[in-house]
Structure 1
Amino acid sequence: MIEFYFVVIAMSLMLMSLLFEIERPEVILASTLMVFVLTGIITPAEAISGFSNEGMLTIGLLFIVAGTIQKSGIVDRALQRLLKGATSNHHIMARLLPPISLLSGFVNNTPIVIAATPMVKKWCEDKGISPSKFLIPLSYATILGGTITLIGTSTNLVVHGLLIENGHKGLSFFQLSAVGIPITLIGLGYLIFCSSALLPDRKVNVITESEALREFTGEVLVTRDFPYLNQTVKNAKLRSLKGLYLVSILRDNTAIAPVSSTTLLHEGDLLLFTGDISTITELQRVKGLELQSSSGSHFPEDHRLIEAVVTHHSSLLFKKIKDTDFRSQHQAAVIAVHRQNHRLKAKIGDIILKPGDILLMIVGDEFSKKKRSADFYSITLLDEKLVTPKQIKKGWLAIGLLAVMIGLVTSGILSMLTAMAITTLLLFLFKFVSPGEIQNQIQWHVLLMIACSFGIGLALTNSGVATSIAHFLMNLASPYGLIAVLLSVYLLTNIFTEMMTNSAAAVLMFPIVVEVGKTMQIDLLPLAIIVAISASSSFMTPIGYQTNLIVYGAGGYRFKDFIKIGAPLTVIVMIVTVITVRFMWF
């Protein structure tokens, strides 16, 4: 009994920590798992069991395949073609959302939204339309499409792996389509015809416009009288100025960005500062520094600018920018931070970052060569010059290879794990992907969360908490019939997924539905399908799903906007899912 109450308290603290974003989700889940191991509620072997789960391993391999297709630029080009010729709100919705939903059934939806967001914003700017009318529907369309196939989202693969561990056959490739296709079609109809009336017509501050940038940048010229000529920026004390942040040096018409503490200063250098520009006049007191402009006259023409959204899993979270070693880690310098459509006016280095913050960065030549970071999602338009015909050809070959493997899985010749392992091996042997790219394409934080969730799920089972929750659901819903039970499973899963990641929610719900199935003597498969669909259907908050977070800041949304449009969609998807499952499997 002590174990029971201890697990209840620990789980409550874990959920509250996730809800209030006290730490990164993977840190919270890993810490909870360690507490259960140290207290003997689960064994060390049970704690690491998730790391060998078939679904979790398949997700890791799928990251590599999806990453290879993403870097080819094929997705970006397809989205650009869809946007061409669109003339009205309903027209662009009808052209864009159905293909995106279909694509999300086979490719990770996060890179799709990352690629589409800047394109939609640019189209809106050209047409004089608010992007807030389109970006939430874009995110929702990818979430809906991910329910169509087994590889549409990591949640489906996790549930597949859990079914196999519990002695079931697992999900076939298109088994979820019976539910996924109806909810996608009805959901898209709702988004195309109703979302425009429910979403705000809100002007978004375009932080990359030259005039907007020049409002908070200033330039200072280094003359021959400067006492720190040919010395480092650190020695010149230009890294600890009150309210100002040195982001680049313009030398011989070439921008040096980001500026490190060891960069040497030369006569004729033009120093670009950002932050509280009202304090830049104080630099005139320093011998050898001459204020050239308070409006950044050479900026941003000589610099490469990137916008990015801070993720839920970022190592930057809840830290001051100056404490993150940002320049050396990412080869970039932050020059502005926007939160909820407003630029934060504090000194850049003193800003404490939160999920969903939009960073405007000056990046160096090494930025694109650095490993893809889990710290932020870049939402800047792809430079087509960076994509070569050879990469496009490799992308099409990767898509063809994936299609062949899907055919083999669908026909029952190969398992999903085997097919993805063979695909990854062939991509490596044909040099479509390098060992370094493989390491960078895998989202390790996602795998860590999923693996930890398996151990936490076992703690729920071992302590009797899962059985207790299942009995509570039965006592509450069973008097009203089977549909009431299915609705209660859907609702509890959906509450979990709005508080944590979708895959973790599915793992924690699984031992509960196992007990529900045993108690009611019904097949586990339809209950598992409800868990998979509900865990992916995060529409009411910007924090429940990564694609919602990407569009949150980019569209200038507020929290209530997601509730306003997401609540009806949640009800629609829930009703269609429960009715479909009820009449197809019972």
Structure 2
Amino acid sequence: MILTDVLTTGIDALQFWLVVFLLVFTLAGLIFNLLSPEKLFIFVAVVLLLSGTLTPAQTLAGFSNTGIFTIAALYVVVAGLKEAGATQLIRRYLVGTPKNQHDAAIRVLPVTVVLSAFVNNTPIVAMFTTLLQDQSKRFSIQLSSILIPVSYASILGGVCTLIGTSTNLVVDGLVKQSGHHGFSLFELAWVGIPIALVGLAYMYWAAPRLLPKRESSIEQFDQVREYLVEMLIQPGSELIRKSIQDAGLRNLPGLYLVEIERSGQVLSAVRPRTLLEEGDRLVFAGSPQSVLELNTIHGLTLADEQRFKLDGNSSDRRLFEAVLSPSNPMIGLTIKASRFRHRYSAVVLSVSRHGERLSGKVGEIILCEGDTLLIEGQKGFLMRYRNSRDFLLVSKLGTPPAADERKAIPAILIFLAMILASATGFISIFESSILAAMAMLTMRCISYEDAGKSVDYQVLLVIACAFALGAAVDSVGLTREIAAVLLQVTSSPLGALVAIYVSTVVLTELMINNAAVYTCREQA
């Protein structure tokens, strides 16, 4: 019947069935991972062009859609927030320090919803995952029953605003392309906020009851490298006037507090109720990854004086491990005598030998072949010295940059100005996002190199090429046939709307959201 209708309306049957085949092929390709999504959609767009189903202008129409450039600009804006340390600043002041399971849910989930309404879900989930992983080690929070709710909370936040997800922006572009007025920034909030509130209430109730309670396990290895590291409590630290136990420094896995140096006096065998004060030097011993966790605590910094003589901003520094080779010219010399900082533009924070930490002043340690050094240097240290004959191995520890408020505050102000400008209708979200991305680059919240890396070009390709598939579905009359089938199933407008929702939900489970939108958009 469909083929007869196609022939009688004068539409080329071959092109009609080609589009049907390409739709099925695309769906199968996404389900069975025949090709990566971007390769699959590029292939489909090329076939539609070469077969004459679409003109070059129709095939490339997606690449000129404002939604594509809005998404690209928002990638840069979000990356600017992250690189400037603004996300850490937001996390610190909006969430604080969760102390237990219930406290973590109360603090984190609502903030996740709010932030995800304006920022891409991925960095938000990554930010709170890191926070909860850190706090779980300090305050016995079970990750198995909190991380999935964080992920779902970010999805709930995405339905509250136009820029909450890239799919919202794509739909807005399709609406405008059809000649209709697009959505305002908060127009979706009338539906999204009630859904988000109901979803949050459900997660508060269901998560503790339905999600598993798995205890995390820490693997112990022979010859684990241990370091002795001094940390300094700075002014304004969250640890000031807290006891060792309340600060979460009592039971850190793979790490223990050896002693505290205060006003020239050494407090050994520190008790759990000992109060911490500004200027305290905390001496920790433990594995490199555990030492790394200390860097995430606000106001607790590495206490080595030499690190303050390093060039560049502290937010651009990273931690590395390096193993000394037999040909290293520093072998047999102390770290101070070897002029390590001048030679490598980095400082040695601690030394491990045969898996055991070396005590004493770092500068007075005589280096030996095979020593493993814990180093702080600029983030280009790995690229410069990973092939150097001075080291057998150089590896970077996965440490996030500390928040630099000189960059973080301008980044937050740029982001808020973008939201305000688009929310008031002063300029469109497309214009405000482009201006915000340019401002992030101008204010050096993010470098041009990092801005280029932040854009997910694969996602943009999928969206742009999916426009071509949607145009083909429309041009050959397949959308009318689908609509006719839906009307045969149900005669009521409400039933047709339910059918559209159900088919969209099913397709979203099988393919990416943006592609599902294109497949179902014309059914309405």
Verify same fold: TM over 0.5. yes
The answer as to 2:486 corresponding to 1:468 is: no
What does residue 12 of structure 1 align with?
A: 24
Q: CA deviation at 1:167?
A: 0.1
Q: What residue number does 2:153 align with?
A: 141
Aligned to 2:253: none
The amino acid of 2:515's aligned partner reads A
Match of 2:512 among 498, 501, 504: 501
- Are 2:403 and 1:382 equivalent residues in the alignment? no
| Aligned CA-pair RMSD | 3.5
Q: 2:201 aligns with which of 189, 202, 216?
A: 189
Aligned partner letter, 2:162: L
Superposition pairs of residues 164-243 of structure 1, within 5 angstroms:
164-206=176-218, 211-212=220-221
Match of 2:415 among 377, 388, 399: 399
* Amino acid of the structure 2 residue aligned with 1:493: T
> CA deviation digits over 1:62-85, x for unaligned, max 9?
212222122222222333455545
Q: Deviation string for 1:380-408 (max 9, x for gaps)?
A: 66242xx32322232233234224323xx
Structure 1 pair 474/94, CA: closer, same or farther in 2 (3 Å)?
Answer: farther
Report if aligned partners of 2:22, 2:44 keep a CA contact under 8 Å in 1: yes
Query: TM-score if structure 2 supplies the norm length?
Result: 0.64
Are 2:135 and 1:123 equivalent residues in the alignment?
Answer: yes
Per-residue Cα deviation, 1:488-528 (whole angstroms, up to 9, x for no partner):
21121122222222222223322x23xx3xxxxxxxxxxxx
Return the letter of the residue paired with 1:122.
D
User: 1: distance between equivalents of 2:320 and 2:416?
Assistant: 42
Q: 1:3 to 1:403 in 2, by over 3 A?
A: closer
SS of the residue corresponding to residue 425 of structure 1 reads helix
Unaligned runs of 5+ in 1: 218-254, 271-291, 306-326, 333-360, 366-379, 517-586
| Cα displacement string for residues 145-192 of structure 1 (whole angstroms, at most 9, x for unaligned residues) | 011111111111111111111000111111111111111010111111
Q: CA deviation at 1:258?
A: 9.3
Where does residue 433 of structure 2 map in the other structure? 420
> Which of 46, 54, 60 is matched with 1:42 structurally?
54
Distance 2:457 2:192 in 1: 27
Where do 1:277-288 residues align within 5 Å?
Answer: none
Shift of the alpha carbon at 1:420?
A: 2.0
Q: Say if 1:188 and 1:213 are closer, same or farther in 2 by CA, change over 3 A.
A: farther
The alpha-carbon distance between structure 1 residues 34 and 264, as it changes in their structure 2 partners (threshold 3 A), is farther
Q: Counterparts of 1:136-535 in structure 2 under 5 Å?
A: 136-206=148-218, 211-212=220-221, 266=327, 302=373, 363-364=395-396, 382-384=400-402, 387-406=403-422, 410-476=423-489, 478-479=490-491, 481-510=492-521, 512-513=522-523, 516=524
Indicate conservation of the 8 Å contact 1:68/1:398, yes or no: no
Q: Secondary structure at the match of 2:425?
A: coil
8 Å contact 1:304–1:364 — kept in the other structure? no
Residue 105 of structure 1, CA deviation: 0.9
Moved more, 67-76 or 429-438: 429-438
TM-score, normalising length: structure 1: 0.57
Q: Distance in 2 between matches of 1:489 and 1:12?
A: 18
- Distance 1:459-1:180 versus aligned 2 partners, 3 A rule: same
2:35 aligned partner, one-letter code: E
Indicate the SS of the match to 2:518.
Answer: helix
Q: Secondary structure at the match of 1:504?
A: helix
Gaps of 5+ in 2: 1-12, 226-318, 332-352, 358-369, 377-381, 388-392
Counterpart-to-counterpart distance in 2, 1:90 and 1:136: 15
The separation in 2 between residues aligned to 1:163 and 1:136, in whole angstroms, is 33
Distance 1:213 1:180 in 2: 52
Question: Which one-letter code corresponds to 2:81 in the other structure?
Answer: I
Q: Does 1:90 align with 2:102?
A: yes
Match of 1:569 in 2: none
Deviation at 1:133, TM superposition (A): 0.3
Quote the offset at 1:59 in angstroms: 1.1
- Closer, same or farther: CA 32–169 of 1 in aligned 2, 3 Å: same
Within 2, Cα distance between the matches of 1:192 and 1:213? 41
Residue from 83, 99, 120 that aligns with 1:71: 83
Alpha-carbon distance in structure 2 between the residues aligned to 1:466 and 1:102:
37
CA distance in 1, matches of 2:163, 2:222: 42
Q: What do residues 315-335 of structure 1 show as CA deviations (whole Å, max 9, x unaligned)?
A: xxxxxxxxxxxx98xx89xxx
